[in-house]
Amino acid sequence: MGTGNAVTLSESDARELPAQCPDIAIAVPVVRGGAQIVYGSNNWATIVFGTTPGSLQVRELSMAYGSAFSVQDVDSANKVALLGKTVVTNLFGDIDPVGQSIRIKKVPFTVVGVLERKGQSPTGQDQDDVVLLPISSAKRKVIGIKSANADAVDSIVMEAKTIDHIQAAQDEAKALLRQRHHLAPSEDDDFSIRNMEEIFSAQEASSRIMSIMLAAVASVSLIVGGIGIMNIMLLSVRERAREIGLRQAVGQKPATFLCSFWSRP
């Protein structure tokens, strides 16, 4: 991702990353923005991603039915769209969406495919509440082109060749991007690189903290509740002190006395 307010990443960066970095299998550019999707009298607010066909591989998406858009669709900026299951449910119900026309910011797009259900992301986001468009169509007709750089993108998603190549791919990407962005050794990166291991580690740390906090709250509740019950029992015994003394005086056995004591309403 780019850092700060400046848009520093580009589609050409995404093309060069797998070409020049041997540990990167694929890299796809992404632009994103919110939009209202309209079909007939129904509408739904969702997230629109402009990307390339390789996004399905990188994000491990598969088609439920229909077909994905192609490189030719990207090159020609064709107005075609892939819909997530949440969008399909809210716009079409039981109607087959493939071949239907939807409007995104008053621009008609043809639905060519529906994505398999993905479920929630590790951060709790609904991964099925999305619309995927060719990046060229998204830039020109929906999200808009950055005035300073028409080639600019919001982020680049990369996939390493194997899990053992993740760190090497990250280092190669950093070195190449610094070179392409003409950054001096003393300058900070104008982008940030994150991998899923870091995200999962942060989530595990958060889960551990929440578990400790819940255990502490439960312990305090048990202690406070125990003190309350203890005081009630103590008061109950004190109120019946005369009765206890009388029963002991007449020789009632301890077991019988305790049973009658605790069973008394």
CA distances for 214 relative to 52, 206, 218, 228, angstroms: 44, 12, 6, 21
Helix axes 241-249, 254-263, angle to 10 degrees: 150
124: left (phi over 0), alpha (psi -120 to 50) or beta: left
Q: Which of 49, 57, 20, 72 is nearest to 155 (CA)?
A: 49
Average of pLDDT values for 232-258?
Answer: 73
Residue 74: how many CB atoms within 10 A of its CB? 21
The single-letter DSSP state of residue 163 is: G
The one-letter amino acid code at 244 reads: I
Helix axes 166-180, 11-20, angle to 10 degrees: 130
Q: pLDDT value at position 84?
A: 93
Q: pLDDT value at position 16?
A: 94
Reported confidence tier of residue 11, pLDDT bands at 50, 70, 90: very high
Q: pLDDT value at position 120?
A: 77
Average pLDDT, the chain: 86
Q: pLDDT value at position 148?
A: 65
Q: pLDDT value at position 265?
A: 47
Helices and strands in the chain, H and E counts: 9, 8
Which range is least confidently modeled, 27-41, 42-56, 217-231? 217-231
> Three-state SS for 33?
strand
Q: pLDDT value at position 122?
A: 64
Reported confidence tier of residue 70, pLDDT bands at 50, 70, 90: very high
Reported confidence tier of residue 214, pLDDT bands at 50, 70, 90: confident
Q: pLDDT value at position 28?
A: 94
- What are 15-43's pLDDT values in tens digits? 999 999 999 999 999 999 999 999 999 99
The helix, strand and coil proportions of the chain, stated in percent and rounded to the nearest 5, come to 45, 25, 30
Are the C-beta atoms of residues 20 and 1 closer than 8 Å to each other?
no
Q: Which residues contact 192 (CB under 8 A, 6 or more apart)?
A: 1, 2, 3
- What are 73-132's pLDDT values in tens digits? 999 999 999 999 999 999 998 899 999 999 998 899 999 999 999 887 766 778 899 999
Most confidently modeled range among 47-51, 57-61, 159-163, 192-196: 47-51
Measured CA to CA, the distance from residue 130 to residue 50 in angstroms comes to 11
Q: pLDDT value at position 200?
A: 63
Higher pLDDT, 149 or 198: 149
Higher pLDDT, 240 or 260: 240
> Three-state SS for 46?
strand
Measured CA to CA, the distance from residue 110 to residue 80 in angstroms comes to 5
Measured CA to CA, the distance from residue 187 to residue 223 in angstroms comes to 56
Higher pLDDT, 235 or 258: 235
Measured CA to CA, the distance from residue 66 to residue 184 in angstroms comes to 48
